[in-house]
């Protein structure tokens, strides 16, 4: 592997694990087995390195192979990526990097089309607010990026990356999306009551 790529990967891991601010160029260099000057030589500046990481990670998702699952293949790729990439992605979304924002918007658009098609073909429930639903749906699918660690730990599973755990949680998610959580409409009705009540505080849950 080229030194440049080694540096990028090292940065990816460290940035994902600790956050960009807490990782020094020297630490990256050491992990990559090069001098810290070489990092600058290749990426110009720390921000440049960060950008390169963003670009790389996001290209992984965007150029995901096999679109046979519809336009949401990128989402699948995202959730299958390695721990480092997942954590990095979570941070990228939280930090609001422009690339991450663009990716999110793309995902929402693609998912919106996909859901729309599903509605037409009858295998997706219609929605009272399709754009908002598409965005929420994407957010839900992305949520494990940010909370994966807690998900695993809360079930007493040591390794976040254990395949069985991943499968188990994805199954639970699909169950929610297929059968819903609530058995009647009372939550929706309660929400509408809140809204009609001059949209005071609590509209959540």
Partner DNA sequence: CGGCATACTAACCATATGGTCAGCAGAAGG
Partner DNA sequence: CCTTCTGCTGACCATATGGTTAGTATGCCG
Of the candidates 75, 86, 77, the residue with the CA atom closest to the CA atom of residue 110: 75
Alpha carbon distance, N-terminus to C-terminus of the chain: 48
Q: How many CB atoms lie within 10 A of CB 98?
A: 9
Q: Which residue's CB is nearer to DNA, number 47 or number 159?
A: 47
Q: Is residue 13 a contact partner of residue 89, using CB atoms and an 8 Å limit?
A: no
* Near DNA in 39-78, by CB under 7 A: 40-42, 44-47
Q: Least distance in Å: CB of 84 to a second copy?
A: 14
- Among the listed residues 18, 19, 37, 175, the single contact to DNA using CB under 7 A: 37
| Cα–Cα distance for residue pair 187/171, rounded to 1 Å | 24
- C-alpha to C-alpha distance for 22 and 140, rounded to whole angstroms: 28
**Which is nearer to DNA, 9 or 111 (by Cβ)?**
9
Select from a second copy, DNA, none the partner in contact with residue 5, using the beta carbon and a kind-dependent cut-off of 5 to 8 Å. Answer: none
Among a second copy, DNA, none, the one that 170 touches (CB under a kind-dependent 5 to 8 A) is a second copy
CB of 3 to a second copy, least distance (A): 26
Q: Which of residues 13-32 bind DNA (CB under 7 A)?
A: 23-27
Q: Which C-beta is closer to DNA: that of 47 or that of 105?
A: 47
Q: Which two tokens stand for residue 135?
A: 């965005």
Looking at residue 125, the DSSP 8-state letter turns out to be -
- The structure tokens listed for 188 are 């929706």
Q: Which residues of this chain interact with DNA, rule CB under 7 A?
A: 2-4, 23-27, 34-38, 40-42, 44-47
């Amino acid at each position: 592997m080229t030194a440049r790529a080694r540096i990028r990967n090292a940065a990816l891991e460290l940035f994902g694990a600790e956050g960009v601010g807490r990782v020094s160029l020297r630490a990256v260099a050491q992990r990559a087995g090069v001098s810290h000057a070489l990092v600058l030589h290749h990426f110009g500046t720390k921000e440049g390195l960060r950008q390169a990481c963003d670009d790389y990670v996001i290209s992984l998702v965007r150029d995901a192979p096999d679109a046979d699952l519809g336009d949401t293949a990128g989402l699948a790729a995202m959730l299958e990526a390695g721990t480092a990439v997942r954590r990095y992605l979570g941070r990228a979304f939280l930090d609001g990097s422009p690339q991450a924002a663009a990716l999110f918007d793309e995902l929402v658009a693609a998912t919106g089309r996909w859901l729309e098609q599903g509605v037409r073909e009858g295998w997706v429930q219609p929605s009272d607010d399709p754009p908002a639903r598409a965005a929420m749906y994407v957010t839900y699918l992305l949520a494990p990026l940010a909370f994966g660690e807690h998900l695993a730990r809360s079930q007493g599973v040591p390794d976040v990356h254990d395949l069985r755990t991943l499968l188990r949680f994805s199954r639970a998610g699909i169950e929610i999306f297929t059968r819903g959580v609530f058995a009647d409409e009372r939550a929706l009705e309660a929400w509408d009551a809140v809204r009609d009540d001059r949209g005071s505080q609590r509209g959540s849950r």
